[in-house]
Amino acid sequence: MSFIEDYQRAAELDDHDSLAQFQSQFDIPNDVLYFDGNSLGPLTFASREVLHHTIEVEWRERLIRSWNEDWLAMPLRIGDQIAPIIGATEGTVICCDNTSINLHKALMAAVALRPHRSEIVVDINNFPTDIYIAQSVADQHGMTLIAVPADQIVEHISEKTAVVTATHVDYRTAQILDAPAITQAAHAHGALMVWDLAHTAGAVPFNATSLKTDFAVGCGYKYLNGGPGAPAFIYVAPQHLESSGHSLQGWWGHAEPFDFEVSYTPAPGISRFLTGTATVLSMKSLEASLSVFSGVKMTEIRAKSVSLTSFFIDLFDKHLAHRGFTLQSPRSPESRGSHVALGFAGGKQLVDQMASEGIIADFRPPDLMRFGCAPLFNSHLHIVKLVERLSAH
**SS3 of residue 218 by DSSP:** strand
Secondary structure letter of residue 393 according to DSSP: -
DSSP 48-99: HHHHHHIIIIIITTSTTHHHHHTGGGHHHHHHHHHGGGGT--TTSEEEES-H
DSSP 119-183: EEEEETTS-HHHHHHHHHHHHHTTPEEEEE-GGGHHHH--TTEEEEEEESB-TTT-BBP-HHHHH
- Residues assigned a catalytic role: 127, 196, 221-222, 370
Q: Is the peptide bond before 366 cis (omega within 30 degrees of 0)?
A: yes
CB 273 within 8 A of CB 246: yes
Cβ-count burial of 322 within 10 angstroms (0-12 exposed, 13-18 middle, 19+ buried)?
exposed
What CA–CA distance (Å, rounded) separates 339 from 306?
10
Cβ-count burial of 250 within 10 angstroms (0-12 exposed, 13-18 middle, 19+ buried)?
middle
Cβ-count burial of 317 within 10 angstroms (0-12 exposed, 13-18 middle, 19+ buried)?
exposed
The helix-helix angle for 99-113 and 128-140 (nearest 10°) equals 40
Q: Which helix H or strand E contains 216, and what residues bound it?
A: strand 215-218
- CA 343, 348, 349, 352 dihedral sign is positive
CB 283 within 8 A of CB 95: yes
**SS3 of residue 373 by DSSP:** coil
What CA–CA distance (Å, rounded) separates 277 from 283?
11
